[in-house]
């Protein structure tokens, strides 16, 4: 009986290459996934006390499973993909507005016999260009965010002539803004998105998705550097952003409805908001 067991154990070890440690010693190198392509460092029924005695594999699947024998790559000729360094970024693919630029790298060594695949050879990133924008381009306007205050603070209807909240924020035109009163105008917007904070503030309750609001550009908010308009007055048919000054968590998006803002617009009689 003892001889029978020894013969059986020897046969099992021979089939699993018991006692070997490397693919080279076991003469093993198998394509794909092959669970029989294994090097048994100890008897397969033995209790493994040392992790170095765990079986290792010589099939290509061991690269993904992480159980290859130490010499698998060398013995089986595994070649990983090798790529060059990244090249320089290209120029922005537009001369006005949002675009993209790219850079690339090339393959120096193709993968073979289960080696690591090649990574991406192209990268892209966003860019902004204004060098080719015409004088009337709307690109800068799309990037602006309108800073607004409640219409009740309009200087045309203020209750205290000595107080103007905007003077505490920023004085746009120190050169006697009253002389530019003829430049005032109003803009109508359709609200497309609004934060929940706007719903809880009574001064901004008119900001509701789908509602139309009127914003007045008064003399104190006119910008000489913006060709005598207010910052953030938007682009017809284009989505832009707004931000409420006295309610910091109130913000959202809207679309300007008119092609040309007009001082004589009916909404100027009682604007919902004023620009800063």
**Predicted local distance difference test score (pLDDT) of residue 246:** 84
The domain tally of the chain equals: 3
- pTM across the whole model: 0.46
Residue 105 CA to residue 117 CA, distance in Å, equals 15
For residue 65, what are the domain limits?
14-76
Same domain, 159 and 270: yes
Do the domain assignments include residue 134? no
Q: Tens digit of pLDDT for each residue in 41-65? A: 766 555 655 666 788 999 988 988 8
CA distance 189 to 272: 11
**Residue 242: pLDDT above 90?**
yes
> Does the pLDDT of residue 241 top 50, yes or no?
yes
Residue 199 has pLDDT above 50, yes or no: yes
Taking only the tens place, the pLDDT of each residue in 104-163 is 999 999 998 888 889 999 999 888 776 666 555 555 667 788 999 998 887 654 444 445
Query: Residues near 152 by Cβ (< 8 Å), separated by ≥ 6?
Result: 203
Q: 251 and 212 in contact (C-beta within 8 Å)?
A: no
Collapsing DSSP states into helix, strand and coil, what is residue 113?
coil
pLDDT (0 to 100) of residue 255:
92
Torsion of CA 227, 229, 231, 234, to 10 degrees: -110
**What tokens does 182 get?**
């003829």
Instruction: Look at residue 5 and tell me if it is in a domain.
Output: no
Whether 243 and 146 have beta carbons less than 8 Å apart is answered as yes
**118 and 70 in one domain?**
no
Residue 1 lies in a domain: no
The answer to whether position 2 is within a domain reads no
In this structure, are 150 and 256 located in the same domain? yes
Same domain, 229 and 269: yes
Does one domain contain both 200 and 243? Answer: yes
- What pLDDT shows up at residue 163? 52
Looking at the fold, whether 148 and 259 belong to one and the same domain comes out as yes
- Does residue 248 share a domain with residue 145? yes
């Amino acid at each position: 009986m003892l001889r029978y067991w020894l013969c059986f154990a020897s046969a099992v070890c021979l089939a699993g290459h018991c006692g070997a440690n490397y693919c080279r010693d076991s003469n093993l190198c198998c394509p794909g996934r092959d669970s029989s392509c294994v090097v048994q460092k100890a008897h397969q029924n033995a209790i493994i006390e040392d992790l170095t005695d765990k079986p290792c594999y010589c099939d290509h699947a061991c690269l993904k499973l992480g159980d290859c024998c130490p010499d698998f790559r060398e013995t089986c000729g595994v070649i990983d993909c090798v790529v060059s360094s990244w090249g320089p970024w290209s120029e922005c693919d537009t001369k006005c507005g949002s675009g993209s630029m790219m850079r690339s790298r090339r393959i120096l060594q193709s993968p073979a016999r289960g080696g690591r695949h090649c990574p991406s050879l192209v990268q892209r990133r966003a860019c902004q260009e204004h060098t080719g924008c015409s004088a009337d381009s709307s690109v800068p306007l799309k990037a602006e965010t309108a800073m607004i205050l409640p219409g009740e603070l309009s200087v045309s209807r203020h209750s205290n002539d000595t107080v103007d909240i905007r003077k505490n924020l920023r004085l746009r035109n120190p050169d006697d803004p009253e002389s530019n009163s003829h430049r005032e105008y109003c803009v109508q917007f359709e609200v497309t998105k609004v934060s929940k904070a706007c719903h809880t503030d009574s001064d901004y309750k008119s900001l509701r998705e789908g509602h139309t609001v009127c914003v007045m550009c008064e003399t104190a908010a006119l910008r000489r550097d913006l060709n005598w308009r207010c910052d953030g007055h938007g682009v017809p048919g284009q989505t832009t952003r707004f931000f409420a000054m006295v309610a910091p968590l109130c913000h959202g998006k809207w679309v300007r409805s008119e092609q040309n803002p007009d001082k004589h617009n009916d909404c100027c009689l009682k604007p919902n908001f004023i620009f800063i």
